[in-house]
């Protein structure tokens, strides 16, 4: 996945991902993207038309990436695990940075990610007397889990390590287990996840 191996189009898209993630939509310039990708501004527009087209391409790419990660999480039956999201954090920092910014800025792709995560979360919640309905809890729980991502800059500053790296992600994943109500987690999940995180920290993770 080194940049030399990619086509110019893919390099431009990755550069745009990084720029959008770092500076936001309106703070990003086509010139900046071109410079980061090592091409001319004209080439950027040749491939993506307009700045908004470039943005849409990034959105689509991130949405597909998250869907793939989510699917693999579902296959393993661990979508509800706080550690799962931590693993996703560390899997591709540029994508996560873009997603964080897009969630705050508002974009169709980010909205889709949010909505789909709410749906997935709701499946793992059961209605219970005296509690808010499962849907509302799923919405709030999703926003809370994503909170650490959107605020990764503040979390990383306070933690002293990058949340989007293996160490930060696992520490936050672990702490999340202590902060979330146990009813939200399937039976025995906490112990299982603590094991997985320990193994992950030993370098057996992706």
Site residues, a second copy (CB under 8 A)? 23-27, 100-101, 103-106, 110-111, 114-115, 118, 131-132, 136-137, 139-141, 143-148, 150-151, 153-155, 157-159, 171-172, 174-176, 178-184
State which residue, 98 or 200, has the beta carbon closest to DNA.
98
Of these partners, a second copy, DNA, none, which one is at the site of residue 3 (CB under 5 to 8 Å by kind)? none
Of 49 and 108, which has the nearer Cβ to DNA?
Answer: 49
Q: How far apart are CA 77 and CA 61, in angstroms?
A: 24
Q: In the stretch 47-66, what mask flags binding to DNA with x, by CB under 7 A?
A: x-xxxx--------------
Q: Are 17 and 98 in contact (CB under 8 A)?
A: yes
Binding partner at 136 among a second copy, DNA, none, C-beta below 5 to 8 Å by kind: a second copy
| By CB under 7 A, residue 23 contacts DNA | no
Is 121 an interacting residue with respect to DNA (CB under 7 A)? no
Distance in angstroms (rounded) separating the CA atoms of residues 58 and 13: 6
- Distances in whole angstroms, Cα of residue 140 to Cα of each of 24, 37, 121: 25, 38, 10
CB 82 within 8 A of CB 130: no
Site for DNA in 31-50 (CB under 7 A): 31-32, 39-43, 45-47, 49-50
Closer Cβ to DNA, 28 or 121, answer by number = 28
Measuring CA to CA, how many Å separate 14 from each of 48, 80, 133?
Answer: 13, 29, 40
Residue 146: alpha-carbon gap to chain centroid? 8
Nearest Cα residue to 169 out of 186, 181, 152: 152
Nearer to a second copy, 10 or 159 (CB): 159
């Amino acid at each position: 996945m080194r940049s030399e191996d990619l086509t110019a189009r893919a390099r431009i898209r990755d550069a745009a991902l990084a720029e959008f993630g770092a500076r936001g939509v309106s703070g990003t310039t086509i010139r900046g993207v071109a410079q980061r990708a090592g091409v001319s501004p004209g080439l950027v527009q040749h491939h993506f038309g307009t700045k908004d087209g470039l943005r849409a391409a990034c959105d689509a790419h991130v949405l597909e990436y998250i869907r793939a990660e989510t699917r693999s999480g579902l296959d393993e039956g661990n979508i509800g695990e706080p550690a799962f999201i931590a693993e996703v954090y560390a899997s591709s920092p540029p994508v996560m940075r873009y997603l964080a910014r897009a969630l705050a800025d508002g974009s169709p792709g980010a909205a889709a990610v949010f909505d789909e995560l709410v749906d997935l979360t709701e499946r793992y919640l059961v209605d219970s007397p005296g509690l808010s309905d499962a849907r509302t809890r799923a919405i709030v729980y999703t926003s809370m889990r994503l909170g650490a991502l959107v605020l990764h800059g503040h979390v990383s500053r306070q933690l002293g390590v990058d949340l989007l790296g293996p160490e930060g992600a696992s520490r936050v994943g672990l702490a999340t287990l202590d902060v979330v109500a146990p009813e939200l987690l399937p039976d025995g999940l906490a112990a299982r996840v603590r094991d997985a995180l320990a193994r992950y920290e030993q370098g057996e993770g992706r």
